Each structure stands twice: as structure tokens, then as C-alpha cells.
């Protein structure tokens, strides 16, 4: 299968400080790639480089386009939807207003995905008139994902969607993301510290350590890797 996203020798910088040291990474069209690594490894920075939010070097190819010189807005307009760490929903707006903003934000075009999203996330339909700030953590994460999907992206980029959530809630959210990937033909790049769940769901996996990819391969191979098992799976 062809890659929808490919990073070749990508470096990223905060000011003078280089935090990614030339990483290679791919997401297959329609597939799910997981990026693992400890705190500070560079996972979020990798997503920021893809989305044009940090200075980078090397090549970032998305659906035949080079992204390195593009603005964050252009990249979103090409079909890359980013759900950042901490979710970034507008807590003072209602659920429905958040979704509507998601539809316009990237492209300035309305998309008619509201009912589709309420289908995948029925709890959001129930809470459509409530302020986002009144939702539980899990519901806010669902809203952030649904909002990103309102623009009909080709690639969904998720930064630790499980953060701070109970295992049962994480499983529910991952289950919905997996269904959306299959049914809506959205490719997914997932950053996770919850390695066992992520590796069970993904097809490819990468392990980052201090700005380097130290291991990569099929998610199955990484799940069977003794070092990964010891360090990230706890058995
Ligand atoms: N805005 C910033 N300015 C300067 N350095 C930063 C900035 N953001 C991150 N860094 C540094 O870049 C490195 C990679 O950070 P990054 O946030 O990408 O890690 P991460 O893998 O996402 O970690 P976590 O699991 O804690 O979210 C770290 O050394 C971090 O201190
Ligand atoms: Mg991070």
C-alpha cells in the first residue's frame, strides 16, 4: 500500500535547539500508525512538524504534496486534522458550536458531517446544547476528535487522546476512532503512551527516544519485541 504521509530525515527545532534529529516515518493510506515514546522523546514535536507549527528540515510528503513550506492553515486545508495535546476545545461554547467551528476552521467551507459525528458519538448529540466545559474529560476528548473530523480530513493526527482518562473510556474512544478509520477511509497517526492498546489497534509503529526513531516495524512485531514489552508494556 502507498503511504499517505511520509517523513524523510526530518529535524525539528525550538529556537537553536534541535529536538528531532532526522526521523523517517510513514502512515499507509487508510492505515493507523502509532508513535510511542517516553516523556520528552519528541512525539508532540513530530506532530507539530507535520502540521507546520515548528521549524523543520527534511521532507514531509502528504498525498503527493510537500508540506515543509506550508502554513498550518494550508496543511489543514489539504486534509490533515490535528487534535493537539490537551484537546483545545472551546470550553465556553456549546458542543454544537465547537463542531460547527471545526467544519469551517480549516477550509472556510461548511461540511455536513454533524449528523455523522452524532452517529459515532451519541453522547455528543445528547449534550449538543451544553457548554464544552461542562463535559467530562472523555466527552471533551470525543468532542475534540469529532471537531477535527468535521472537515472530512484524509489524515487524523491524535496526540495522546487517552491522557488522564479511565481505561474503560479510552477503550471506548479508541473503538470509535478505529470504526471511523475503517468506515470513513481516514488514515490515522496516533501518539500514545498507552502502548498495549495502541499496538493492538495500529498496523505500523515507531518508537522515539530523545529525537531518534530507535525501533520501527509492524505493530505486531513491536508488540512482540522483548525490549518494548519490558519498557512499555510492563510484562
Ligand atoms: N515549546 C518548546 N520550547 C522549547 N523546547 C521544547 C518545547 N516543547 C518541547 N520542547 C522540548 O522538546 C523535546 C521534545 O518534547 P515533546 O513535547 O515533543 O515530547 P513528547 O514526546 O511529546 O513528550 P510527552 O510525552 O511529555 O508529551 C523535549 O526535550 C522538550 O523539553
Ligand atoms: Mg507530547
17 in a structural domain: yes
Question: Tell me: the pLDDT tens digits for 6-49?
Answer: 999 999 999 999 999 999 999 999 999 999 998 999 999 999 99
Question: Which ligand 1 atom is the nearest neighbour of the CA of 38?
Answer: 25
Asked if the structure places residue 107 within a domain, the reply is: no
From start to end of 51-143, where are the E strands? Answer: 55-62, 65-66, 80-83
Q: Is 181 part of any domain?
A: yes
In a domain, residue 11? The reply is: yes
Here the CATH number for the domain that contains residue 62 is 3.40.50.300
Ligand that comes closest to the CA of residue 14:
1
pLDDT tens digits, 101-148 = 877 765 555 567 899 999 999 999 999 999 999 999 999 999 999 999
Q: How confident is the model at residue 190 (pLDDT cuts 50, 70, 90)?
A: very high
Q: Which three cell numbers stand for residue 186?
A: 481516514
Q: Can you give the pLDDT at residue 14?
A: 97
Is there a domain that residue 20 lies in? yes
- Residue located nearest, by CA, to atom 16 of ligand 1: 42
Mean pLDDT of the chain: 92
Domain for residue 63, yes or no?
A: yes
Alpha carbons 190 and 99: distance in angstroms, whole number: 21
Ligand 1 atom having least distance to the Cα of 37: 21
pLDDT at 105: 64
Nearest CA to ligand 1 atom 1: 14
- Cα(71)–Cα(101) distance, rounded to whole angstroms? 19
Domain-embedded: residue 211: yes
What was the pLDDT predicted at 235? 62
Q: From the CB of 41, is ligand 1 less than 6 Å away?
A: yes
What is the model's pLDDT at position 110?
A: 57
pLDDT-derived band at 230 (thresholds 50, 70, 90) equals: confident
Q: State whether the beta carbon of 44 lies less than 6 angstroms from ligand 1.
A: yes
In contact, 24 and 60? CB cutoff 8 Å: no
Q: Is residue 163 part of a domain?
A: yes
Query: Rounded to 5 degrees, what are φ and ψ at 15?
Result: 60, -125
Mean pLDDT across 67-96: 92
Other beta carbons less than 10 A from residue 133's beta carbon? 12
The verdict on the CB of residue 43 being under 6 Å from ligand 1 is: yes
The domain of 17 spans 3-85+142-233
Q: What is the pLDDT of residue 234?
A: 67
Number of domains in the chain: 1
Using the atom order of ligand 1, give the atom closest to the CA of residue 41.
21
Amino acid at each position: 500500500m502507498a503511504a499517505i504521509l511520509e517523513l524523510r530525515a526530518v529535524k525539528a527545532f525550538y529556537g537553536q535547539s534541535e529536538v528531532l534529529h532526522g526521523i523517517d516515518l510513514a502512515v499507509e493510506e487508510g492505515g493507523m500508525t502509532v508513535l510511542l515514546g517516553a516523556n520528552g522523546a519528541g512525539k508532540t514535536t513530530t506532530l507539530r512538524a507535520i502540521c507546520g507549527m515548528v521549524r523543520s528540515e527534511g521532507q514531509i510528503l502528504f498525498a503527493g504534496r510537500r508540506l515543509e513550506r506550508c502554513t498550518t492553515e494550508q496543511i489543514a486545508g489539504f486534509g490533515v486534522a490535528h487534535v493537539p495535546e490537551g484537546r483545545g476545545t472551546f470550553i465556553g461554547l456549546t458542543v454544537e458550536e465547537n463542531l460547527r467551528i471545526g467544519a469551517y476552521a480549516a477550509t472556510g467551507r461548511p461540511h455536513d458531517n454533524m449528523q455523522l459525528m452524532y452517529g459515532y458519538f451519541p453522547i455528543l448529540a445528547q449534550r449538543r446544547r451544553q457548554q464544552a466545559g461542562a463535559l467530562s474529560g472523555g466527552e471533551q476528548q470525543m468532542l475534540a476528535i469529532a471537531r477535527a473530523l468535521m472537515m472530512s480530513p484524509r489524515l487524523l493526527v491524535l496526540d495522546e487522546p487517552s491522557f488522564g482518562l479511565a481505561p474503560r473510556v479510552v477503550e471506548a474512544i479508541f473503538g470509535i476512532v478505529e470504526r471511523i478509520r475503517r468506515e470513513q477511509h481516514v488514515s490515522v497517526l496516533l501518539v500514545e503512551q498507552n502502548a498495549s492498546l495502541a499496538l493492538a489497534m495500529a498496523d505500523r509503529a515507531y518508537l522515539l527516544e530523545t529525537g531518534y526513531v530507535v525501533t520501527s516495524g509492524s505493530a505486531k512485531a513491536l508488540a512482540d519485541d522483548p525490549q518494548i514489552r519490558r519498557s512499555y508494556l510492563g510484562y
